[in-house]
Structure 1
Amino acid sequence: MVKATKVKALDQVLLEKYDVKEEIKMVLVVREDLKMGKGKIGAQCGHATLGSFRAVERLAKESEFWKKVLQAYSWDMGMHKKICLKVNSEAELLDLQKKAKELKVPQYVVADAGLTQIKEGSLTVCGLGPAPSKMLAELTSHLKLL
């Protein structure tokens, strides 16, 4: 019962702070220092998109706020907004992930299998959201486009 009460309290805070009727999008943050090819970046962003979307699905089972975000994103007639940004190191990527966790933003970091261009276990992309644009801006407004 304590967990359910905490989730409801957090939902209320999130619903008051962010409007789920505003733009909902996903941000994919790519490690530029790995020098991945375009195809590799595309594949890694695909993994991050799916992983981050599944994170929201898990949150939506317990949270009214994330259920509304998921509904808004899912029924957008295929107009799912995504933006690709870049960081210069694994440390920056992990710092972003840590901040996302602190703000309760759904996130997923891809660890590469090491089958093609880069070393196994390399952290390549952090998917953030889907979430309200304002929420994501709190994390990523300092980053540049990929």
Structure 2
Amino acid sequence: MEYVRELTAYRRWGKPVATAEFGSCTYLGARELGGRGWNVVDHTEQPEEITGDLVRSERTQAAYITDVLDVFESMGLYAALVYDFVTPDAPHRPEPRYDLDMASYSIVRTLRERPDDPASAWHWEPKQAFHALARHYGRHVPRR
């Protein structure tokens, strides 16, 4: 993990170190693309569509987030902020070609009332990453 080396260098001053955002998109292979994971959407098409034959994987996203969080905790970072909670302009759709949520870093999926109408009402539902983070942080809550 190259970022461990990079973040370690900032600790030499004895000041708190925080990472403002880390995360992964929701498909197999997104982990390797890092911050470029969202770049799999063809915005010239209407409706916008996913390029290639991506495979949705909430498990991949959840594992990446918790793995990286474990590393950050082992480094003693002051804070590590998961990117992103919700992405309303990248709704989940059952057909993979139009499932823009795959190219989203959010830990919840956006569901539109009318999937073909971007102005329709929406709500969110937790992805596996949401639940994995809840379990992860739950380990650190003192029991009463």
Give the TM bin, normalised by the shorter chain: under 0.3
**Structure with the largest fraction of helix:** 1
Q: TM-score, normalised by structure 2?
A: 0.28
Q: TM-score, normalised by structure 1?
A: 0.27
Structure with more relative contact order (C-alpha pairs < 8 Å, separation 6 or more): 1
Higher CA-based Rg: 2
